[in-house]
Structure 1
Amino acid sequence: MKRLLLSALAAAAALSPLACDLEKTGNQLRADHVMVGTLLATPQVDVCASALAGFDAGTCGTPDSGDTVSFPGQTAAFVFFGTKSGENSQPEGLSGATVTLQAGSAAGVPLNAQGGGSYGVTSDSTDALKYTSGATYSFFAEQGGTKYEARVEDSPTKEAIAAFHPPEGFVRLNANTAFAFDRPAPPPNQDRTLGFVTVVPLGSNGEKGKATYSNVPTTPVEFLQLAAMPATFREARVTIPATAFPTPKQTYLIIFQAVRMGGPESDNLFLGSVVLAGTAEVGIARTN
């Protein structure tokens, strides 16, 4: 844990635009409060009923024809807020904080307490939670009159994945077979965003099952690992393991999130804090 923490600190210091502010960075190194958070958006997905049945998706009608199953778009925000007592300590969640997400100068969206220092909200429960490409998102936590802020700037646009959209309309592959795809080149003079994958099976009636694969960080330790080794998620070629597609004649959603990483803005928040914001491209796969 100590080696991971030191690696994360080195990576965060190198990536932070405020690394030259030695006093602020020093305060963040000594800070005992930590925050990790995500803002992830998924667009509406229209899945052809024939794809769910295993037929050629080219026979699909329009969304109004009754030949499609639609999954509404959703935006979800999550924050873990806690404290650490030393270099080797696991963060402990703090309950009772007021946690909000703010886009630029817009009003903050409250996140609901979920226990154990976790807070979250989805667009299913509030119309105020929206994702906007190019926005700056601030994650705030306030407790005992003290406010803590982490920030991610220039939230990315959806990254178009050509391999998700073959002429047939969906990807065909054998069960228990890996699937690889190439990401487009980033804009000139920009680093490639981080990329995360989640694979979800779909029932014949369109019901979603439990994810068979995901590399999206969910725990404070996983966020520290991300801060220490972000290059792993910037590779141009992404390979989804064979175990993500275990069942023959099964339809799967492949959700690829293009994400930008940010960190602590206030000097009372630990330097290793990580926040992410991004939006998804979605493909459909059908196993033989």
Structure 2
Amino acid sequence: MKRILLSAAVTALLLAPLACNFDQLLAEKVMVGTLLSTPDVDVSLYAMAGGDAGTLPDGGVPENERLTIPGQTAAFVFLATRDGEQGQPEPITNATVRIETLNGSPIALDNKGVGTYGLTSAFGDESGVKYQNGATYNFVAVHDGNSHVGQVKDAPALERIAALHPTGGYVRHVANQGLTLTRPANGGKERTLGFVTVVPVSRNGDKGEPTYTNMPKEPLDFLQLVTATGEWQQATLSIPGSAFPQKDSNYLVVFQTAQLGGPQSDNLFTGSTLLVGTADLGLVHTVE
């Protein structure tokens, strides 16, 4: 199955749009990069137990009755060399990678191995990678003395999903039943990409492995976003019932809105894919 996914991603890479300069079309280096932010969420302990209490700021939960699930901003880059028309991209393991914003200090990413570089910081941590609405982000990878630059312009603002913020402060939902979310009206403008991830949350705030996501999972799968953006620009989002498998349980629904970018320097392949975005979150408590 993974081989099929990789083959599809490589095909998307090779069939990337030709709206680029000739140098980018022939460039050997390809980059996938993301910078995604989620805010802190304050949850009522009563809501975690399925009681009738709200989340801040909707419910005004007292300090001693709330649990804070910390947010974070995570940066990730995958850098590789294209290996001919039929070969798989070859990871570049010895690059120096950073993220830059206008009038901001560059943030160096850690080498994680196998061509991947990343950094995660707590929400609001001014010393680490951080998210700024409207900013332009440059993803810079230096290899063999050459800088390869991808860029995302106009980082989107948070897109609030009304269904995730009912009056009670959380969503009461039947276990194993699908959930449909509607994005706010966009005034006829092209929508940013929208991704949904569902994560189980224990009563003490510990997060488990996602039970559902429609976000690409492998670095090369992100390359398909270049040729198939419409799948992630729909006005409604359908979450399957399998995302909420257990009754009397809590799930954090994360709606990530993201702006798509691409290569900025001539030596980076036109199929390179960059995403920058922020998220809205809501708590779901399942019942029978």
Task: Report the TM-score when normalising by structure 1.
Answer: 0.90
Worse-matched range after superposition: 216-225 or 274-283? 216-225
Aligned residues with identical type, % of pairs = 45
Residue identity in the other structure for 1:84: R
**Matching of residue 35 in structure 1 with residue 34 in structure 2:** no
Give the gaps of 5 or more residues in structure 1: 14-18
Distance 1:262 1:12, change over 3 A: farther
Pick the aligned partner of 1:114 from 85, 108, 112. Answer: 112
Cα distance in 1, alignment partners of residues 36 and 64 from structure 2: 29
Matched residue SS, 2:100: strand
**Matching of residue 276 in structure 1 with residue 272 in structure 2:** no
Worse-matched range after superposition: 204-213 or 125-134? 125-134
CA shift, 1:154, in A, is 0.4
CA shift, 1:273, in A, is 0.4
Cα distance in 2, alignment partners of residues 194 and 203 from structure 1: 29
CA shift, 1:130, in A, is 1.2
Note if contact 2:47-2:54 (Cα within 8 Å) is conserved in structure 1. no
Note if contact 1:9-1:271 (Cα within 8 Å) is conserved in structure 2. no
Residue identity in the other structure for 1:106: G
Cα distance in 1, alignment partners of residues 126 and 92 from structure 2: 24
Cα distance in 2, alignment partners of residues 2 and 76 from structure 1: 27
Cα distance in 2, alignment partners of residues 79 and 58 from structure 1: 38
Hey, what does 1:143 align to over in structure 2?
Answer: 143
Note if contact 2:158-2:279 (Cα within 8 Å) is conserved in structure 1. yes
Hey, what does 1:211 align to over in structure 2?
Answer: 210
Matched residue SS, 2:63: coil
Deviation per residue, 1:21-66 (Å, 9 max, x gap): 6xxx211111111100100010110111111111112499755521
Distance 1:90 1:10, change over 3 A: closer
CA shift, 1:11, in A, is 5.2
Distance 1:11 1:59, change over 3 A: closer
**Matching of residue 44 in structure 1 with residue 44 in structure 2:** no
Cα distance in 1, alignment partners of residues 14 and 236 from structure 2: 27
Cα distance in 1, alignment partners of residues 269 and 126 from structure 2: 30
Task: Report the TM-score when normalising by structure 2.
Answer: 0.90
**Matching of residue 132 in structure 1 with residue 132 in structure 2:** yes
Residue identity in the other structure for 1:67: E
Hey, what does 2:175 align to over in structure 1?
Answer: 175
Where has structure 1 moved over 6 Å in runs of 4 or more? none
Cα distance in 1, alignment partners of residues 156 and 110 from structure 2: 25
Cα distance in 1, alignment partners of residues 12 and 127 from structure 2: 39
Hey, what does 2:223 align to over in structure 1?
Answer: 224
Distance 1:251 1:43, change over 3 A: same
Deviation per residue, 1:259-278 (Å, 9 max, x gap): 00000111111111000000
Cα distance in 1, alignment partners of residues 55 and 104 from structure 2: 44
**Matching of residue 69 in structure 1 with residue 64 in structure 2:** no
Hey, what does 1:16 align to over in structure 2?
Answer: none
Cα distance in 1, alignment partners of residues 162 and 228 from structure 2: 27
Matched residue SS, 1:176: coil
CA shift, 1:3, in A, is 7.0
Hey, what does 1:101 align to over in structure 2?
Answer: 99
